[in-house]
Chain A
């Protein structure tokens, strides 16, 4: 007899991470789905092409997961103009940088979403971007003869996102809106895994279907506090002290070659915890309870 039940899409973070294999292109939403990213580090995934920015990108590079970076911004806050592991790896040529910019990136993702080879974009005309990234091609548009940039389709194999809630069927709702690239990443990617603060009943989704931001995530991972140490709107603020701990460790490794602190960070928080629950135990309930919004 054929299966009559609607397929549920909930998987755990360990299974979700096994979808990602060496050499894939992954896209990381905002806030970064840290429970999933830590699992990638734990698994020792290598040679990834990563669409990401800021400190989560830096962590993946520090952990040795990354071969190529598609990014528009690698600042990290905390008065750090450029995140340390990215900076050194780029300066040494250890990672390849696909130089782009916010508007250019969204054009490329939109092209992938619409199965187009490219989309035109004006921002970047006159700049060095098409020189340092030869995939961006200046062309004369056939309608008005203007010089524009052809941005090739940027197609992630898997988008990894974090959101507030989802039901078992992949209907995702954000509190306070999705991260700014999230929907571009979802529309462009082959598959999308969304980790959520809470899995809710299908009835809860249907109570307000207009609030559904992603209508067809391929998998849902239950990950309360899953964006930690970053913030999750409606749930908790960023753990500044923890981010500082990572940044200090990564900076020490880059500037003075003292890698002990960074190795400890990666082992203690990313490689040793088998599950997200193990990670949260290491952070501790008391610490998590200090991260309230008001």
Chain B
């Protein structure tokens, strides 16, 4: 195991391990941990993964280093694409989306994995904080086989008992059939990754549960920074740190500029 790594590197490695070969990974804007994770998984164990960065679909497992940045729409990046899906078909052929994986952020997250990118404040027309907007998260979270909530910080400001607004529906007010009752075909959120740990959702209630603690973090610390009661199993494992190989590939082939170490 490696010892000297940043928490963002840890998050990227944890996320990469959970992605399977053959999956289609749809990455949105402004998520450096996710951008690194999908590339790392692609190089480590996913030669048949397809990476979709805003409609630019690529398989670059044959490359020694994976191109950055993802979000320039000029030809420096598009030249790696095998197709460009955004000629009017971003949300088509949904029957295949059980094999698609998506990643969302949020300015608020509630105990059932509902997320909010709209804003914060009781009155919609006078928000205290106007968020960036829903992007494509309402549609993607509805249809993909599973998605991950990935957050850059873990605080009571983000983890709230009730989102002021919901832009991506997770498990609603709870229950394993919450999504089926609404007719949402996708599998819902699987993990919520934060700088403190990995959270999942209890099988029956779908309430957020502490799944693993990052090295050096206590369960009390996580709970103290969470604005609602987490489901706390008796035994909570420590998140497995990056292996020497994972960190080597991450730093030399995915993130040589050290974006995740800043």
Contacts and interface: CB of A to CB of B under 8 A. Distances in A.
Given A125-B169, A126-B166, A176-B78, A102 B130 contact: no
A72 B143 contact: no
Interface string A75-109: 10100011000110011110001011111101000
B87 A77 contact: no
| Interface pairs A-B: 5 shortest CB-CB | A123-B139, A103-B139, A180-B86, A126-B169, A102-B136
Contacts of A86: 130
Interface in B9-61: 29-30, 54-55
B88 A129 contact: no
Contact of A125 (B30, B135, B137, B142): B142
A4 interface: no
Contacts of B29: 73, 75, 77
Interface stretch (B121-129, B221-229, B236-244): B121-129
B30 A106 contact: no
Contacts of B71: 77
A123 B74 contact: no
A124 B168 CA distance: 7
A242 to B, nearest CB: 15
Contacts, number: 162
B136 A126 contact: no
Interface in B132-156: 132-143
Contact of B135 (A101, A121, A233): A101
Interface of B: 29-30, 54-55, 71-76, 78, 84, 86-88, 90-91, 116, 118-119, 124-143, 163, 165-169, 172, 179, 182-185
A75 B132 contact: yes
A269 B118 CA distance: 32
Interface of A: 30-31, 53, 71-75, 77, 81-82, 86-87, 90-93, 97, 99-104, 106, 121-129, 131-132, 146-147, 176-180, 183-184, 213, 231, 233-234, 236-238, 293-294
Contact of B129 (A91, A92, A99, A127): A91
A236 to B, nearest CB: 8
Given A101-B139, A123-B143, A129 B167 contact: yes
A102 B86 contact: no
16 contacts: A72-B135, A77-B71, A99-B118, A101-B136, A102-B139, A106-B88, A123-B142, A124-B139, A127-B167, A128-B165, A176-B75, A180-B55, A180-B90, A233-B74, A237-B74, A293-B75
A124 B138 contact: yes
B172 A75 contact: no
Contact of A183 (B87, B141, B167): B87
Contacts of B126: 91-93
B84 A177 contact: yes
Nearest to B107: A81
Contacts of A126: 166, 169, 172, 179, 182, 184
Contacts of B78: 176, 233
Contact of A91 (B75, B127, B142): B127
A121 B184 CA distance: 11
Contact of B127 (A74, A90, A121, A236): A90
Given A127-B167, A127-B168, A128-B166, A73 B135 contact: yes
Contact of B167 (A53, A101, A103): A101
Given A91-B127, A233-B74, A122 B134 contact: no
Contacts of B116: 128
Given A101-B137, A129-B167, 18 more contacts: A73-B133, A82-B132, A100-B134, A101-B138, A101-B139, A102-B90, A102-B91, A124-B138, A124-B139, A124-B142, A126-B172, A126-B179, A127-B138, A129-B138, A147-B182, A180-B90, A183-B88, A293-B76
A193 B89 CA distance: 23
B72 A238 contact: yes
Contacts of A53: 133
B133 A72 contact: yes
A77 B75 CA distance: 19
For A81, A92, A126, the residue with the greatest tally of chain B CB atoms inside 10 Å of its CB is A126
A43 B141 CA distance: 42
